[in-house]
Amino acid sequence: MDTPSEDGEPLPPQLMFLKRLVTGLAVVMIAGFLVLIAALVIRLNRPLITLPDQIALPAGAEAQAFTQGADWFAVVTTDDRILIYDRASGALRQTVTVD
């Protein structure tokens, strides 16, 4: 059955198809946007990675950068050293000197 246009005449079949296509696209876009928002909410509500409250740097060392792995984290110092710490205990695991 044809839907009447504003002036009361029925719409041609091609325009009805186009109208349904545009409506379907709008529904898919809204659903995709809602899925995107849900994914962001789920991702941002994950627990943060736990780190020790304090990190004991060697005397005279000043932190310049920070990076982390699965069970470790590292602090790059201004005197060209990389200090690798254990994530669970916070103890210094290894020191790497950068040449």
Domain ranges of the chain: 1-46, 63-97
Cα(16)–Cα(31) distance, integer angstroms: 23
Q: Is the pTM of this model over 0.75?
A: no
Task: Say whether pLDDT at 40 is over 80.
Answer: yes
pLDDT reported for residue 39:
96
pLDDT band, very low/low/confident/very high, at 1 (cuts 50, 70, 90): low
Arithmetic mean of pLDDT, 58-64: 90
Residue 65: closest CA among 53, 48, 77: 77
pLDDT band, very low/low/confident/very high, at 2 (cuts 50, 70, 90): low
What CA–CA distances, in Å, run from 98 to 21, 57, 78, 81? 61, 17, 11, 6
More confident residue, 84 or 89: 84
pLDDT reported for residue 53:
76
Residue 83: exposure state from Cβ atoms within 10 A (0-12, 13-18, ≥19): buried
Mean pLDDT of the chain: 88
